[in-house]
Amino acid sequence: MDFSFTEEQTLLRNSVQKFIQGAYDFETRRKVSKSDAGWRKEVYGQIAEMGLLGVAMPEDFGGLGGSAVDAMIIAEEFGRGLVIEPWLNNAVIAAGFLKAAGSTAQKEELLPAIAAGETVFAFAYAEPQGRFNLADLTTTAKKSGDGYVLNGHKAVVLGAPFADKLIVTARTSGGQRDADGVTVFIVDKSAKGVSTRDYPTVDGNRASEVTLENVTVGADAVIGEVGGGLKTVELVTDQAIAALAAESTGAMKVLNDTTIEYAKTRKQFGTPIGKFQVLQHRMVDMFMNYEQSVSITYMVTLKLEEEEAERKKAASAAKVQIGKAGRFIGQSAVQIHGGMGMTDELNVGHYFKRLTMIDTLFGNVDHHLKRYATLG
Amino acid sequence: MDINFTPEDEAFRAEVRAFIEENQPQHLKGVRRGEYRNKEDFLVWHRILYKKGWLVPSWPAPYGTNWTPTQKYIWNEENARAETPAILPFGVSMVGPVIYTFGTQEQKDKYIPGILSGDVWWCQGYSEPGAGSDLASLKTTAVREGDYYIVNGQKTWTTLAQFADWIFCLVRTDKNAKAQEGISFLLIDMKTPGITVKPIITMDGGHEVNEVWFDNVKVPVENRIHEENKGWTCAKFLLSHERAGIAGVARSKRAISRLKDMLAMEVIDGEKLIDDADFERKIAELEIDLTALEFTELRTLASEQAGKGPGLESSILKIKGTEIQQRITELVMEGVGYYSLPYSDPLSHNEFAPGPAYAEGTTQNYANMRKTSIYGGSNEIQRNIIAKMVLGL
C-alpha cells in the first residue's frame, strides 16, 4: 500500500504549479474569459510544450508515456487555476478515444498533433433529449458509398469554439437508446454541413450547439468498431470523470483555504468570525468533504484499468462524492464570505460556479447514484 | 381550530383576483427582477396599486386599508399566483413606516406622498464593509455643523442605488457612546454633492447592488428622523416591522408549480422527468417543507390577528423560507441538465440562448439566490436570535 508520489510526479506538480502562478493569475483569467476569443492559444501552446497534452500518450506517438496518476496531478492543479484551455478535451478525451480504439493510422496522424497542440478536439456527445444517457442518440450516421452521412444536433459541446475537430457520437443502427449501434466519428469542424453557434458558459468557458446536416465522412473517420462504440465512450467518459474529480479537489482546496483565511481575518462583534463555533463546524465539514473527495479521486484514478464493471462503479462513486462535496463546499464558502462571496470580483464565486458545473458534466449525482446501484 | 376561509374571505379573494387579472402588467408576468429592462418596469405595478389604494395594506389610516391579516395573506397569495411584479420594499415597507411612526408632521408631508406615488425611489444605507451581521459597528459619521450634518463614509450592498433619488442611512453621530446608542437615522438626497455610486457586479453577472460613498456630504439637520442618537430604535422597529410575506410561501408555491411544468417537458430515457423516482421524491420533500412553513406562517398570522403581534418566530420564517427558495432554484438547475450550463447575459437579452426558454439563466439564478441566506440578517444570525430570545440559551 502506497499513496506517495514519485519524484517525477512531484516535479510535474511543481512545474504545473509554477506555470499556473505565472500564466494564470485570477485577474488575467477573468479578462481572458470575457475576451472575444475566450481562451489563449499561446497558453495552450505552452501547455503543449510542457508535455501536458501528451501526458498519457505512448512515447512512440509524441507522448510522455505517463499514467493516470500524472493526469490526476495536472487536473488537480488546473482545478486550482480554473484553467479554461481545453486540456481535458484533448489530453484525456480525444487521446483516450484514440488510445483505446483508434487505428494505427489515426494514432500516427492525430496523437502527435494533439500532443503538440496543433489539432484541437471537442467532444460532441450530449443531445437535447438525451440528458445523461450516452446511448440516447438521435444523431444518425447512414452508410453511403465507402463512408457515412451524419445528421443531428449536439448540445452544449464544451470547448467547441476552440476546436478544429469534433469527436461525434452517432447512431449507425438500432433504436434511439440501444446500447448497440453507437459509432464514434471524427468530424472536421470546417466540413460542409457542420454549423456551430457559440456561447459562453456560467463558469467562464465556451460551448457550442453543433448542427450536422448531411455531413459526409470517410470510413477512416470511424474510431473503433462500427456500432460497438458505446463501450469506448463509457471508458473514456469514466477517464474524464476521474480527471474532473481531480480538478474539483483542486477547486475545493482553494475554496477551503480562502474561507479559513477569511474567517481568521474578518471581524464582527469584536472577534474574528472563525471563532464562532457554528462556523468552525461548517469549516470542519468542508474540510472533511474535501478529504473524502481526495480519497475517492485516488480510488477512481487507480481503478481506471480494472475490468469494466469495477471501473464503472468507481467512476460513478467518485462522481457522486465530488458532486455532493462540491455543492456543499461551494455553498458554504459563499455563505461564510457573506456578501463578498456573492461578488464577481472575488474568486470564491468563480470556483463555486465551476464546481456547480462539474456536477452536471457526464452525469450529476442522481444519474451516478442510479448507475452505481444498477451495477450491483 | 379552523383552517377554512370565511365566505367574506372568499368574496375578497374573488375581487382581488379579478382586479389583478384585469390590471397586471402582462409583459412582466413571471419575469425575474434581474431581467427588468428599465426603471419603469420596477414601478408600473406599484403605480397601478397606488391608484387603486391597495399599495400599502398594512399602513395605518389615513394611508392603508383596513384589511384583516387573513385578507393580507390572500392578497399575497393572489399576487404570487398571478406572478405580478414584487413591490420594491425600500419606500413602502422600510422608510415609509419609519417616517409615519417617528417623523414629524413636516417630514410626513414632505416624504410620504413621493413614497406612495412611486415618484421618489428610495434605497437603504445600512451595511458597511466592516458592518454586516454586526450592523451596530457601522462607521459612517455625521458631524454636526450648524444646521447641517457633514457625512463621511461608505455604505455597501445598496440594492438598486443606481436608480435611487434618496437614501435612508444609519450614521454615527456620537463616537463615544456605546455602539447602538450613537447612531442616527438620516434621509439623504442622492443628488447632494459628494455622493458616488459604484456598481458591484455579482457572480451571476447582474448589477443589483452598489457601493455608496459619502465625501463631506452636507445634509440638513431637518432630514434626521427621530432624535439624534436614537437611530437604532428606528432600525430595530424596521427589522421587526412587516415580517408578513418574509417567508415567501405564496411565491415559492408558484415557483414549484413552474418547476413541475418544466419537469413535465424534460425527458429522461424517453420518459417525462417529472415521473422519475428521484425527482418525485425531491419535489415531495420540498412541498412538504413548504406546507409546514405555510402553516407556521398561518399560526403567526392567527396570533397577530388575535392582537398578540408578530413574534420572534419571524426568524423561523426567514430561515425556512430562504432555504426553500434556494432549494427550488437548485432543482430547476438540476432539472434542465446540460442546458443549465450556458451563461445568459443579464444586460443583453438578445444574445443566442440555446436550449428551451425555461432553461435560460437557471444556474445564474441558483447562484444569485445564495444571497437570501446572507442578507436581511444572515441565517446564522437568525438562529442566534432564536437561541437567545426564544430558547433562552
Task: Please check whether residue B199 touches A, CB under 8 A.
Answer: no
pLDDT band at B245 (very low <50, low <70, confident <90, very high): low
pLDDT-above-70 percentage for chain A: 100
A200 and B CB contact within 8 Å: yes
Q: Which residues on B lie below 8 Å from A334 (Cβ)?
A: 370, 374
Band (B348; pLDDT cuts 50, 70, 90): low
Domain count, chain B: 3
Quick check: A209 contacting B, CB < 8 Å?
yes
Arithmetic mean of pLDDT over chain A: 97
Q: For A275-286, what is the mean pLDDT?
A: 98
- Choose from B374, B383, B385 for mutation: most chain A CBs within 10 A: B374
Residues in chain B with CB shorter than 8 Å from the CB of A136 are 269-270
DSSP characters over B175-228: SSS-GGGGEEEEEEETTSTTEEEEEEEBTTS-EEEEEEEEEEEEEEGGGEESST
Last residue of a domain, one of B198, B230, B262: B230
Residues B265 and B218 both lie in one domain? no
pLDDT at B111: 98
Kindly state whether residues B257 and B290 are assigned to the same domain.
Answer: yes
Domain A7-119, what fold? Answer: Butyryl-Coa Dehydrogenase, subunit A; domain 1 (1.10.540)
Among B87, B111, B142, the domain boundary falls at B87
- With 90 as the cut, is the pLDDT of residue B389 above it? no
Q: What is the pLDDT at residue B61?
A: 86
Q: Does residue B350 carry a pLDDT above 60?
A: no
Mean pLDDT value of segment A73-89: 98
Q: With contact defined as beta carbons under 8 Å apart, do A130 and A157 qualify?
A: no
Q: Please, which pLDDT band fits residue B32 given cuts at 50, 70 and 90? A: confident
Residues B143 and B214 in one domain: yes
Residue B34, pLDDT > 90, answer no
pLDDT in tens, B134-178: 999 999 999 999 999 999 999 999 999 999 999 999 999 999 999
Whether B170 is in a domain gets the answer yes
> Could you tell me if B377 lies within 8 Å of chain A, comparing CB atoms?
no
Task: Reply yes or no on whether the pLDDT at B349 is more than 80.
Answer: no
| Residue B69, domain member (yes or no) | yes
What is the reported pLDDT for B310? 57
Map out the domains of chain A as residue ranges: 7-119, 122-228, 231-375
The residue among B230, B260, B290 that closes a domain is B230
pLDDT of residue B237: 87
CA distance A63 to chain B (A): 32
pLDDT at B53 over 80: yes
| Confidence at B243, pLDDT banded by 50, 70, 90 | low
- Closest to A237 in 3D by CA, of A182, A290, A276: A182
Given a cut of 80, whether residue B308 has pLDDT beyond it is: no
Mean pLDDT of B295-324: 82
Smallest CA–CA separation between A12 and chain B, in Å?
32
Average pLDDT over residues B14-36: 91
Task: Indicate the pTM of the whole model.
Answer: 0.96
CB-CB under 8 Å, B267 with A131 = yes
Does B311 have pLDDT greater than 70? no
Q: What ipTM, to 2 d.p.? A: 0.96
pLDDT number for residue B181: 93
SS (H, E, C) chain A: CCCCCCHHHHHHHHHHHHHHHHHCCHHHHHHHHHCCCCCCHHHHHHHHHCCCCCCCCCHHHCCCCCCHHHHHHHHHHHHHHCCCCCHHHHHHHHHHHHHHHCCHHHHHHHHHHHHCCCCCEEEECCCCCCCCCCCCCCCEEEEECCEEEEEEEEEEEECHHHCCEEEEEEECCCCCCCCCCEEEEEEECCCCCEEEEEEEECCCCEEEEEEEEEEEECHHHEECCCCECHHHHHHHHHHHHHHHHHHHHHHHHHHHHHHHHHHHHCEECCEEHHHCHHHHHHHHHHHHHHHHHHHHHHHHHHCCCCCHHHHHHHHHHHHHHHHHHHHHHHHHHHHHHHHHHHECCCCHHHHHHHHHHHHHCCCCHHHHHHHHHHCC
- Its domain, for residue B325, covers 247-389
Same domain, B198 and B287: no
Fold exhibited by the domain A231-375: Butyryl-CoA Dehydrogenase, subunit A; domain 3 (1.20.140)
pLDDT digits (tens, 9 = 90+) for B189-205: 999 999 999 999 999 99
Contact B270 A267 (CB under 8 A): no
Closest CA to A235 of A55, A92, A67: A92
Query: Same structural domain for residues B190 and B154?
Result: yes
Mean pLDDT for A123-142 is: 98
Q: Is the Cβ–Cβ distance between A198 and A245 less than 8 Å?
A: no
Q: Is the domain defined by A122-228 classed in CATH 2.40.110.10?
A: yes
Q: Is the pLDDT of residue B5 over 90?
A: no
Contact A278 B380 (CB under 8 A): yes
Residue B298: predicted pLDDT: 85
B251 & B346 share domain: yes
Confidence grade of residue A65 (pLDDT, cut at 50, 70, 90): confident
In this prediction, residue B64 has a pLDDT band, given cuts at 50, 70 and 90, of confident
Could you say which of B134, B343, B364 has the minimum Cβ distance to residue A268? B134
- Which residues of chain B make contact with A356, given a CB cutoff of 8 A? 333, 363, 366-367
Reported as half-sphere exposure (CB side, CA atoms, 13 A), residue A354 has a value of 25
Residues 332-361 of B with CB under 8 A from A: 333-334, 337-343, 345, 351-355
Question: Quick check: B200 contacting A, CB < 8 Å?
Answer: yes
| Lookup: cell for A103 | 487505428
pLDDT of residue A331: 98
Confidence at residue B242, expressed as pLDDT on a 0 to 100 scale: 55
